[in-house]
Structure 1
Amino acid sequence: MAATAMIRITTLRCRHDPLSSLPRTTSAACSCTLPPRCRQCRLLPPHSSGCSPSSSIFPRRVRVRPTAALKRIGGGNTSFMGPANNGATTLQRSSSPDLRRSLIVLKSTAGTGGGNASSGLLPTILGVAHLLVSLGIVLATDKFLKQAFVAASIKFPSALFGMFCVFSVLVVFDTFVPALAKAFMDFFEPATLFIQRWLPLFYVPSLVVLPLAVRDVPAASGVKIFAITFGGWFATLAVAGYTALAVRKLVKTQLIPAEPMSKASPFSTVETWAWAAVFVASFGVACFNPRALGTTARTCLPFLLAATVLGYMVGSGLPSGVKKVLHPIITCALSADLAAVAYGYLSGSGLDAVLGDYLTKAPSNPGAGDVLMGFLGSVIISFAFSMFKQRKVLLHMLVKRHAAEIFTSIAIASTFSLYSTAVIGRLIGLEPSLTISILPRCITVALALSIVSFFEGVNSSLTAAVVVVTGLIGANFVQVAMDKLGLNDPIARGIGTASSAHGLGTAALSAKEPEALPFCAIAYGLTGIFGSLVCSVPVVRQSLVFIAG
């Protein structure tokens, strides 16, 4: 408003040089050539009393009084005031009292900037409250379903059941009361964007405690596990891609574009400095008093969580070329491990003790890793909202267009992944318990942990670590591998990526090839669903255990 007032006052009384470099204009009333307009206020000086047809310029500069300027403007002409939708009070050609009253109004409204700044704090507070409530409901739903399934002795991923329920409710609402479905989606959008923004972070705890997970694993067995992980990823990618390509040649249909998805906001400098302050303060408190919060795990939780988050922020800000070698998840795990090493050295407790406090797996005494992995079930439930946004594409692909490619490829690739892992583990002499632990290597962490819970004597930490390593391999090499294999069809590339490298591979491919996103999303979810359903069958579990030895 202050700027508007300044513009109006400048318009009324021009102090600029009227003899500017703009083209001269000729008056229609007299044949004299008028002086050029001012470049800023666009006003013409009044005619000189001595103008004549032969006069070309005025020898002297003329200052225009406000009243004279107003007289030269038509009564209904307010174009000199700028756009009419600027919210300012329109200045009409009127008497001096009216003019003074208009300028007083501008002056009184020019000082309201502080009120706008203070009122901007309320939407921020409401936005944070909205996020906390929506995210809290998702977390509470996941916890309730887990407890209900445990009490009922149901060996099926509770989060997967919750995803189906949420998606079904949204479809019913959209069918009968579309406005209610939209309101439902809008309410939970902050929670889904939060989960989408921090999704890779929830996979990190398994990599952070990897030294503990492989501590009792012989070096030879570790080499065998890595060989199965890398070779199995490539073989599963080839099987899924070529199966989709073969069926694709039989069913020739046109692709339809995917619905636009909301993108999470990038990390700000304020967030980085805030987490850095949390790390420094909590690290100092933990060094001064290791049991300041009751237990060592609770005392270490703030600075280990801050170190994990800071590592992810730094890794996300690296150039794309560096990310191909140093993925944000790797920088995230390294940051947490470096913090654990530093604290273990300064406190004298050692690295193993600090990593044990990072992931305690005890609800009554959680660590930083337990907090992060507590979101894995909510990640699965949040997929329902993404699936609902893509419901039109899903309907076309699953029912009318590409059902044959999708279901055939996923069924064959998932079955191949499970049984090939068991067979290769048996052939190269890997311990049966370790072989069973890495069976769901191509399935997302949340569902992979649910699958290995069907078996006895498994190392769930090793399961999660192998799944994350598989995703990292896919995120870095999936595009090059598919190019070498000749998988150029978007359907084959999307299904092959998601079936072999789950969420991390999906995120890496969809960022560069948006046309493959719908197929990645479907294969990502259906691969986990199919693997969970297959492994929940007792005959299948027994056959896998028998093959593994």
Structure 2
Amino acid sequence: MVFGVIHLAVSLGLILAVDKFLKQAFVAAAIKFPSALFGMFCIFSVLIILDSTVPAAATAFVSFFVPAFMFIQRWLPLFYVPSLVVLPLAVKDIPAASGAKIGLILVGGWLATFCVAGYAAIAVRKAVKTELVEAEPMGKPAPFSLKSLGTSARTCLPFLLAASVLGYMVGSGLPPNVKKVFHPIICCALSADLTAFAFGYFSRSGLEPVLGYYLTKASSNPGAGDILMGFLESVILSFSFSMFKQRKLVKRHAAEIFTSVIISTLFSLYSTAFVGRLVQLEPSLTVSILPRCITVALALSIVSLFDGANSSLTAAVVVLTGLVGANFVQATLDKLSFRDPIARGIATASSAHRLGTAALSAKEPEALPFCAIAYALNAVRQSLLAIVG
């Protein structure tokens, strides 16, 4: 037990340390390329080199970081929550008409990207006619078992952090039928918002200042949300282990995977921009929702390249897209008759990133490897397109 805790602390600590070092180095060198993405490529390259020269070393390397990988998998949805908690602040200055347009693009864009990715995978699969082989087993984390008031980030932090964590654990323990319409993230966000409301009421500071303390975006004075989102880029680094573990699967089904991911990525970015212009959505808001189909950390890195983008809106739209996918992905797959696990996995991850992936893989573990591969590749591809473009 003690050894396991130490192993987790060391492995997770190393990932976080690498993330922090790369982030500082990129800032010092004025490099705009996402540092975590560079780190992911480096780790993956090291693993491939070790696997071709000293396979035992590659296996040991991956095994050492398994506890950290399982920790990230278990708590990953929680790292998205701050974006929903501060949603009232993100949308307060957005006109209702613009909000309705964003909602239309979010839901319609999810379904369109979902269909494009799925049908592209099916078309290429029929063309290349490769036989589906068994994937490497993917580990899954075990399920959860169930002082004075002030007006500063320091005093708000323990209350709001505890409310977020407990809300997520309670939400994760709800019956499956309830979670279909009430995702653990929603429970978590409501728990944090209700706590912020109570804190603001009893301290007579109001809700908005407390939400501001929840996510300060200042490393010198972090709030509860900043602590949770501090783990997001470690998620990107962990992609390297998922991709390495499924390297044989990627090689065998490279045509289906890469073609459908490229097509869906291009479609997602350019269709969002086109529809935003078509419905006359403000350019700054259109830019803010461009990376709606990838993980929050990389979405924030992408919009940081554009002037005037609303990063809080970006994060919220990404999470809401994931929630739409998590709630409707399986029913939509069945309705469209996507039977192939490759198509099901790629369509899900390309349109609803990690949250959709978690919802599908909970019931269809055979689709998880393709979800993980598409999830990582889609994020990488969109980041490169935004940087080059």
TM-score by shorter chain over 0.5: yes
- Cα drift, residue 129 of structure 1: 2.0
What is the letter of the counterpart of residue 367 of structure 2? A
RMSD of aligned Cα (Å): 1.3
Quick check: 1:258–1:517 contact (8 Å CA) kept in 2? Answer: no
CA drift at 1:332: 0.5
Alpha-carbon contact 2:22-2:36 (below 8 Å) kept = yes
Structure 1 residues 468 and 425: alpha-carbon distance in aligned structure 2, compared to 1, 3 A threshold: same
Deviation at 1:483, TM superposition (A): 2.0
Deviation at 1:182, TM superposition (A): 2.6
Partner of 2:339, secondary structure, is coil
> Residue 291 of structure 2 is aligned with which of 424, 427, 440?
440
Cα-to-partner distance string for 1:251-304 (whole Å, 9 max, x where unaligned): 1111111111222122234xxxxxxxxxxxxxxx142xx27xxxx102111111
Instruction: Give the corresponding residue for 2:94.
Output: 217
1:163 aligns with 2:40: yes
Aligned partner of 1:232 in structure 2 is 109
Q: CA deviation at 1:127?
A: 2.1
Checking the alignment, whether the CA contact within 8 Å between 1:286 and 1:300 is kept in structure 2 is no
* RCO comparison, higher one (Cα < 8 Å, 6+): 2
Would you say 1:422 and 2:278 are equivalent positions? no
1:506 equivalent in alignment to 2:362: no
Measured against aligned partners, the alpha-carbon deviations of 1:63-100 in whole angstroms (never above 9, x if no partner) come to xxxxxxxxxxxxxxxxxxxxxxxxxxxxxxxxxxxxxx
- How far residue 469 of structure 1 moved from its aligned partner, in angstroms, is 0.3
Is the radius of gyration larger for structure 1 or structure 2?
1
1:157-196 matches, within 5 Å, as 157-196=34-73
Could you list the runs of 5+ residues in structure 1 that have no partner in the other structure?
1-123, 270-284, 397-401, 541-549
Q: Distance in 1 between matches of 2:229 and 2:47?
A: 27
Deviation per residue, 1:405-454 (Å, 9 max, x gap): 22221111111111111111111121110011000001111111111111
Aligned to 1:91: none
Residue equivalent to 2:212? 356
Quick one: distance in 2 between partners of 1:385 and 1:247?
Answer: 26
Alignment of 1:41-80 (within 5 A): none
C-alpha displacement of 1:305: 0.6
Deviation at 1:177, TM superposition (A): 2.2
Deviations 1:372-429 (Å, cap 9, x if unpaired)? 0000111110121222222332332xxxxx2222222111111111111111111112
| Alignment partners' CA distance in 2, 1:409 and 1:179 | 33
* Aligned residues of 2:294 and 2:318 also touching (Cα < 8 A): yes
Higher helix share: 2
For 1:515 and 1:131, locate their aligned partners in 2 and report how far apart those are by CA, in whole Å. 27
Q: Tell me the equivalent position of 1:132.
A: 9
Equivalent-residue separation in structure 2 for 1:268 and 1:510 (angstroms): 20
- CA positional deviation for 1:203: 0.6
Q: Please, which runs of 5 or more residues in structure 2 have no aligned partner?
A: none
Aligned letter for 2:167?
Answer: G
Matched residue type, 1:342 = A
What's 1:198 paired with? 75
Shift of 1:503: 0.8
2:250 and 2:257 in contact (8 A); partners too? no
Matched, 1:317 2:173: yes
Secondary structure of 2:309's partner? coil
The runs of at least 4 aligned residues of structure 1 exceeding 6 Å deviation read none
2:19 corresponds to 1:142: yes
Q: Aligned residue for 1:496? A: 347
Letter in 1 for 2:373: I
The residue type paired with residue 378 of structure 1 is: S
Under a length normalisation based on structure 2, what TM-score does the superposition of the two structures give? 0.97
Shift of 1:471: 0.4
Corresponding residue for residue 315 of structure 2: 464
Rounded Cα–Cα distance in structure 2 between residues aligned with 1:232 and 1:153: 34
Tell me, in whole angstroms, the C-alpha distance in 1 between the residues paired with 2:174 and 2:325. Answer: 19
**Aligned partners of 1:158 and 1:420: how far apart in 2?**
27
